[in-house]
Amino acid sequence: MFKLTRKVEYALIALRHMQNKGSEVVTNTKEIAEAYDIPVQLLAKTLQHLAREGIIDPVQGPHGGYRLTANLEDLNLTDFIELLEGPMGLMDCYFDSNCEQLGVCNIRLPIVKINDSIRNMFNKMSLADLTK
């Protein structure tokens, strides 16, 4: 319970790897997959996702790969997770108010508060903090 998904995990590993190599260097998927023993195809999809979101920049063709473009200081953990995995909340009703039980639910408010605290905490963490 309460685990990060592999997608998030792999994305963080990759970003840190790229960060360490410097932001002009082009790194390809295979290199990272082998270094950390991650399934190539899955990492590939993850990196493609990061590229679509503008966090890394794809370089196609031979000797291609990805180059770190985003300023990781400016990207917080809440946004990062949500951009990879969608809405992050302890209960669905945090985002989606279709819950039939909304009227009778007796724990909604406290849960919303905890949720806000977690988000707030994640908001304060930049990816740069995590990858350096």
Partner DNA sequence: TTAAATACGACTTTATTGGTCGTATTTAAT
Partner DNA sequence: ATTAAATACGACCAATAAAGTCGTATTTAA
- Where do contacts with DNA occur on this chain (CB under 7 A)? 1, 3, 5-7, 28-30, 39-42, 44-45, 47-48, 51-52, 58-66, 85
Distance CA 88, CA 8 (A): 13
Contact segment (CB under 8 A) with a copy of itself among 41-49, 54-62, 65-73, 77-85 equals: 77-85
Taking CB under 8 A as the rule, which mask of x and - marks residues 36-65 in contact with a copy of itself? xx----------------------------
Q: Are 39 and 33 in contact (CB under 8 A)?
A: yes
**CA–CA–CA angle 48, 77, 72 (5° rounding):** 65
- Which letter does DSSP use for residue 23 in this model? T
Using the minimum distance from each CB to DNA, give the nearer residue, 20 or 73: 20
Residues 6+ positions from 86 with CB-CB distance below 8 Å: none
- Closest by CA to 118, choosing from 62, 59, 77, is 77
Using the minimum distance from each CB to a copy of itself, give the nearer residue, 25 or 35: 35
**Which residues of this chain interact with a copy of itself, rule CB under 8 A?**
1-5, 9, 12-13, 16-17, 20, 35-37, 77, 81, 85-92, 100-101, 104-107, 110-111, 114, 117-118, 121, 125, 129-131
